[in-house]
Amino acid sequence: MAQITENNILIADAETKNIMTKSSLPVGGYSVNPYVGCTHACKYCYASFMKRFTGHTEEWGTFLDVKHWPAIKNPQKYAGQRIVIGSVTDGYNPQEEIFGATRKLLEQLRGSGADILICTKSDLVLRDLDLIRELGQVTVSWSVNTLDEDFRRDMDSAVSIERRLAAMKRFYDAGIRTVCFVSPVFPGITDFEAIFERVRNQCDLFWLENLNLRGGFKKTIVDYIAEKYPHLLPLYREIYDRHDRGFFEELEKRAGEMAKKYDCPFVDNEMPYGRVPQGHPVIVDYFYHEEIRGSGNTGLRKSRSAVSR
């Protein structure tokens, strides 16, 4: 396929020798990204740093390379390994409905015995529900950092929050482990307690991650805050210019108090296994205190116990 433009998105082919990449994520042994780029065009997307390695000059969110790779002939070699699908893209971007690269990947992982984590902002994953049930140990995570659709529309062009939550419930009711990933937490905007109230009976894990401003999108977000939430601008300056960690330390305390209120396990930088009783999801703190700013050159961040993306 030559380069084509569809709905103002530049689409091209990308040949790769191996679709599996050893991962530095805190939850993954391998990262798999069936696409280069992501058309959700999230204004806060850390993955925009990938342009430094792909040669793309287009604005993030306006291009998508469809990967082609040699078939995975021995999927059993990944038995017991964690495979994260969608660490720097969303495998269920709207174009997946046309190209099917993520479905092809899942079909090749049949019988692998791998622990698969799918990260998405989409409900297109429902298309593959039956296939995912065949794969065994699979977790599906939806990013939800607001219940306010106006704010969501300002930040990304993915499907609505309601559609994400409806998909989450379908998977949860089907017996597949689900995650509500509150990422990123926007200081003064994201109400994670309200999100928890909404999802606590349809997710097994509730992850929290701070907004990490670095690279070219820092100015985009700060300018947005100045325009739409000017009363929060001093807070953002305090966190992201003066590097004060107090806000996220206080947020961690609130998360711990919420866990006690609902009798939920509360852990730090972990990914427990198994289903949990309804209404008692495991609350996981991924606030990276050591490096609120992240490292702008690589997209890597330090957690308390490991180096992660």
Question: Would you list the domain boundaries of the chain?
Answer: 4-308
The answer to whether 207 touches 272, Cβ cutoff 8 Å, is no
Interatomic CA distance for residues 309 and 147, integer angstroms: 26
Q: What is the pLDDT of residues 102-115, one digit of tens each?
A: 999 999 999 999 99
- For 180, list phi and psi in degrees, rounded to 5: -100, 110
pTM metric for this prediction: 0.90
Q: What is the pLDDT of residues 289-298, one digit of tens each?
A: 444 444 333 2
The answer to whether 46 touches 132, Cβ cutoff 8 Å, is no
Q: What is the pLDDT of residues 217-230, one digit of tens each?
A: 899 999 999 999 99
Query: Residue 184: is the preceding peptide bond cis (ω within 30°)?
Result: yes
Fold (topology level) of 4-308: TIM Barrel (3.20.20)
The answer to whether 26 touches 303, Cβ cutoff 8 Å, is yes
DSSP conformation letters of 245-265: -HHHHHHHHHHHHHHHHTT--
pLDDT > 80? residue 47: no
Token pair for residue 102?
């993520």
Query: In the structure, what pLDDT confidence band is assigned to residue 7 with cuts at 50, 70 and 90?
Result: confident
Long-range contacts of 99-106 (CB under 8 A, 24+ apart): 99/66, 101/34, 101/35, 101/66, 101/67, 102/34, 102/128, 103/127, 103/128, 103/131, 104/34, 105/19, 105/32, 105/34, 105/72, 106/131, 106/132, 106/135
User: Which one has a higher pLDDT value, 216 or 256?
Assistant: 256
